[in-house]
Amino acid sequence: MTNRIAVIDRTKCTREKCGYQCLKICPVNKMGTECVYIDAEGWPVIIEDACTGCGLCPKRCPVNCIKIINLTAESGEPSFQYGVNSFRLYGFVLPKEKGVLGLVGVNGIGKTTALELLRGTIKPNFGVLGKEFSWDEVKKRVRGEEIQSYLKKVYDGEVKVSFKPQFVDKLAKSNKKASEFVNELNEKTDSEKQTVLTQLELNNCLNNKLSELSGGELQRIAIAVTALKKADVYFFDEPTSYLDVKQRMNAAKIIKSLSENAEVIVVEHDLAVLDYLCDYVQVLYGQKGAFGIVSQIKSSKNGVNEFLQGYLKEENVRFRDNEIKFSKYAPSSHKGKPEIVYSGFKKTFKNFSLKADEGFFSEGEIIGVLGPNGIGKSTFAKILAGVEKPDEESDFSHRIAYKPQYLKTDSEETGMQLAKNAGVNVGRFNELKYKLELNELLDKPANEMSGGELQRLSIALCLSQDCDLRVLDEPSAFLDVEQRMNSSDAIKKVTEQTGVPCLVIDHDILFIDEVSNRLMLFEGEPGKNGLATSPSTKKQGMHDFLKKMNLTFRRDSETNRPRVNKPDSQKDQEQKATNNYYYE
């Protein structure tokens, strides 16, 4: 038995402009039974009970905005549906009393909806639109389910929540001093406040206004004020965006410590952080923008592995045809002749100086770059490009295709216009369209794109340009796990095909591990001085970097993904004792 759902994306539907093709093509309508009709505001509506699932209207729709999906009867009724022919979520996220629960899934699959149900900002409607359910009615629907006692507390107003939203940029609109903002929201003791601020390395920016802070500083302020509220449940929606590896691990420690006295739920796409932080995982799967289903609770290892494998064992559900695979022996040496050789240089600014050791990048190799924020990585790239001049005379003038870290744009130009302006190699750009899901962005104005959409387009623009060196600054930001792996594949493929060396600066260690042939480490004191070391083998670079972070990695036997050993676990102690921080 099937349960058919129809979803129309109203952000794309052109209504009368297309002549209502969906209405005209529907065979059920033609037979005289109403299946597709136009509502009072001119939107097409598909009556799901009348739809036979013939599939004609999705094919006919000129903007590809209709999805007709057959669900199995086991999915039951949704826990929440936004509106007619719109996204719905099945199942509930289940907070755990002890330990941190992680949510993993692609973007647009309902993670934020699941959190809002737990926060009580939306109430379950079980797909019955326009009806407000009383607690007694909700109780009947969830009787005997694990979520029942939690939802009762939400309805009784007995759950105090503290929530860090996904986007922190809005904080920058405030002219308040950071210290004032933190003090206003702090509900804990001064000593607890100081511990959090120190661990998040925020003391130096507290005298600045929120509007003057960087993305990473705003993220850490948002984590601090969330942690400093007294709450029964803490929610952190993507807490690592803009943070470097050390900051990610420090944030993870703060978040983990909250779970001693409260329930903690985290949405995160950096699998190393998720692994390090979470004790349990629930996987969200389904079809982006159409429906999402919340899996049972799993151990963090099994949850992440099953997500990568695209198959949920207990549920016996395959939700993706292909497995996301990590290379067992990620390429770890350079090949080809040196393409770009640079001598050491220095660059001195008023408050910051960068020193670079000599080095080279070979034909067809990818150099992963790891280092803290504010250490001069972007300055290094700009000097190679000839945009910035080093202190001494130099003749750096390589043609560099550069994808910057921050991608904000007010441009109304569409994805296709931006590609034309960038002078891309059309054949290569077309090849990347599928892998990076660009088709829907070609006619979309850049200022209407989400962070993830802008990121995928920018990666494609950089990879499609003809140049001597490519530099991608934080390509994993705003991307979900699947998109990160697809981007990594695209970077590897283009680098191999063109032979043009590529520098990838990122803070997702798994992403860097998967994509790089060699590694370059930046060291020093952020905001004061930086040292760009010569590229080294990946094994040596990873070992040195992880040792500085006091982390050890091992390979997961099922998926080959690198896993962070839990601090002080037997494996962690063994690897540290043998000075073997990296697993190779």
CB-based contacts of 121, cutoff 8 Å, min separation 6: none
The strand pair at 536-537 and 529-532 is best described as: unpaired
Q: Is 277 exposed, middle or buried (0-12, 13-18, 19+ CB in 10 A)?
A: buried
* Minimal distance, residue 387 CB to ligand SF4, in Å: 44
Interface positions, 23-52, toward ligand SF4 (CB under 6 A): 25-26, 28, 35-36, 44, 46, 51-52
Residue placing its CB nearer to ligand SF4 in the complex, 25 or 172: 25
Q: How many angstroms separate the CA atoms of 119 and 114, rounded? A: 9
* Minimal distance, residue 293 CB to ligand SF4, in Å: 22
Q: How many angstroms separate the CA atoms of 278 and 270, rounded? A: 12
Positive or negative torsion for Cα 406, 409, 414, 418: negative
* 53 near ligand SF4, judged by CB under 6 A: yes
Alpha-carbon Rg of the chain, whole angstroms?
25
* Minimal distance, residue 75 CB to ligand SF4, in Å: 19
The 62-101 site mask, x for binding ligand SF4 (CB under 6 A), equals: -x-xx-x---------------------------------
Cα–Cα distance list, 148 to 112, 141, 144, 296 (Å): 20, 9, 7, 15
The 144-173 site mask, x for binding ligand SF4 (CB under 6 A), equals: ------------------------------
Residue placing its CB nearer to ligand SF4 in the complex, 54 or 122: 54
* 15 near ligand SF4, judged by CB under 6 A: yes
- Both structure tokens of 537: 């083998």
The CA-based dihedral angle spanning residues 151, 153, 158, 163, taken in that order and rounded to the nearest 10 degrees: -30
Residue placing its CB nearer to ligand SF4 in the complex, 61 or 294: 61
Q: How many angstroms separate the CA atoms of 47 and 85, rounded? A: 8
Cα atoms in the 13 Å half-sphere on the side-chain side of 418: 25
Residue placing its CB nearer to ligand SF4 in the complex, 8 or 94: 8
Residue 446: name the closest of 464, 470, 419, 471 by CA.
419
The backbone torsions φ and ψ at residue 179, rounded to the nearest 5 degrees and listed phi first, read -65, -40
Q: How many residues bind ligand SF4 (CB under 6 A)?
A: 27
Among residues 7, 22, 418, 503, the one that binds ligand SF4 under rule CB under 6 A: 22
List the end-to-end C-alpha distance of the chain, in Å, as a whole number.
49
Among residues 5, 7, 61, 101, the one that binds ligand SF4 under rule CB under 6 A: 61
* 494 near ligand SF4, judged by CB under 6 A: no
Residue placing its CB nearer to ligand SF4 in the complex, 51 or 101: 51
Residue placing its CB nearer to ligand SF4 in the complex, 15 or 313: 15
* Minimal distance, residue 82 CB to ligand SF4, in Å: 17
Among residues 5, 7, 20, 535, the one that binds ligand SF4 under rule CB under 6 A: 20
* 290 near ligand SF4, judged by CB under 6 A: no
* Minimal distance, residue 7 CB to ligand SF4, in Å: 10
Tell me which amino acid residue 308 is: L
H-assigned helices in 447-505: 451-464, 481-498
* 8 near ligand SF4, judged by CB under 6 A: yes
* Minimal distance, residue 126 CB to ligand SF4, in Å: 23
Interface positions with ligand SF4 (CB under 6 A): 8, 13-15, 18, 20-22, 25-26, 28, 35-36, 44, 46, 51-57, 61, 63, 65-66, 68
